Amino acid sequence: MVNKNIIYITTVIVIVMVISGAFIYTSYKNPGQSTAKGITITDDENYNTTLTTTPQRIVSLAPSCTQVLFAIGAGDKVVGVTTYDDYPYNFTAWVAAGNMTIDGGYSTPDMEVIAGLRPDLIVTDSINDASLPSMRSLGYNVIVLNPSTIDGICNDMKIAGKATGLTNQANAVVKNLTNTINSIETKIANAHEAAPTVLYEVWTPPLMTAGHSSWINDVITKAGGVNIFDNASDTNAYPTVSSETVVALNPDTIFLPTQMGQSPFYGSVATVKATPGWNTISAVKNNRVYVIDGDLFAEAGPRVADAVYAVASDLYPQLFNSTS
């Protein structure tokens, strides 16, 4: 009887040791990865969200957030996107196939749909600020990614990486992005050329542009340009400006974004050049009015290095468009 008890106790001890060893191996086999257990995330609005488990069902309420999540490798956890999401995949086809759910329009989240998706994390930008208290009161974990600089975009990818347990992947994406931008800056700096002044049209009418506190302003600067509306005293990221002011500031270059398959808000390059009084502007006189890929400038996300390159290649075609 005693021998049987000894055998039983020994067997139990062995089983416990095996299970414990498996747990330790699983927990520590990749010590560089965050497990997101009991971690606190501080977002771009300085709100602290504590996650007790690694999110498995993520709802994105902004195209920029969707791009960040997919870029760092968390795309397989995303269960809901907005009607405006079109990158990095054609989510319309995904929805039709039943592999993704539309959780509302940009700025109009469908809370009933979101509830049905049972998210353990919601990621949004500041467009939904008014809805945040309600979402959080319902028990949802919500983080806001709303960068105003390229450094802010990189930091947001790190925030998303920490929240999803993908810190290493996020850091790798950020490193590649910053290396690309740094190489562009270095190439321009080594050329020792005068920086051209830039007007970036965001909308018209009324005429809106990218101001000092916009991430587009940072893109222009990194691409070797000088934004004519880089006025630090104006806290509006996208201020309304007058046509007369543009004439007075006389930009060397004007950028006009394409608009998601729609007819452009500005009509055409010819229409812009024909704006009353603009025939005296350097950009118009020297045919330096460029149409640029608006998708790169619509969302502050992982394609920001592409945006910097797009601007730089128009500002310095001799450096970036050479076939030699």
Least confident of 68-77, 130-139, 232-241, 274-283: 232-241
State the pLDDT at residue 234. 83
State the pLDDT at residue 259. 82
Determine, yes or no, domain membership for 179.
no
Determine, yes or no, domain membership for 265.
yes
Beta strands at 197-203 and 226-227: parallel, antiparallel or unpaired = parallel
**How far is C-alpha 64 from the chain's CA centre?**
4
Determine, yes or no, domain membership for 264.
yes
Alpha helices (H) in 149-225, listed in sequence order: 150-164, 167-191, 215-222
Determine, yes or no, domain membership for 228.
yes
Determine, yes or no, domain membership for 261.
yes
pLDDT digits (tens, 9 = 90+) for 243-261: 999 999 999 999 999 986 6
Residues 52 and 101 in one domain: yes
pLDDT digits (tens, 9 = 90+) for 282-308: 999 999 999 999 999 999 999 999 999
Cα separation of the two ends of the chain: 89
Specify the pTM: 0.86
Q: Judge whether residue 11 has pLDDT over 50.
A: no
pLDDT digits (tens, 9 = 90+) for 183-232: 999 999 999 999 999 999 999 999 999 999 999 999 999 999 999 999 87
Q: Judge whether residue 8 has pLDDT over 90.
A: no
pLDDT digits (tens, 9 = 90+) for 67-99: 999 999 999 999 999 999 999 999 999 999 999
State the pLDDT at residue 38. 86
Measured CA to CA, the distance from residue 311 to residue 223 in angstroms comes to: 6
Determine, yes or no, domain membership for 145.
yes
Determine, yes or no, domain membership for 16.
no
Determine, yes or no, domain membership for 57.
yes
- DSSP, collapsed to helix, strand or coil, labels residue 285 as helix
Residues 74 and 129 in one domain: yes
Contacts of 45 (CB under 8 A, 6+ apart): 126, 129, 144, 146
State the pLDDT at residue 321. 80
User: Residue 164 sits in which domain range?
Assistant: 39-172
Residue of 317, 250, 323, 238 lying closest to 280 (CA atoms) = 250
- Number of domains forming the structure of the chain: 2
Contact 266, 291 (CB under 8 A): no
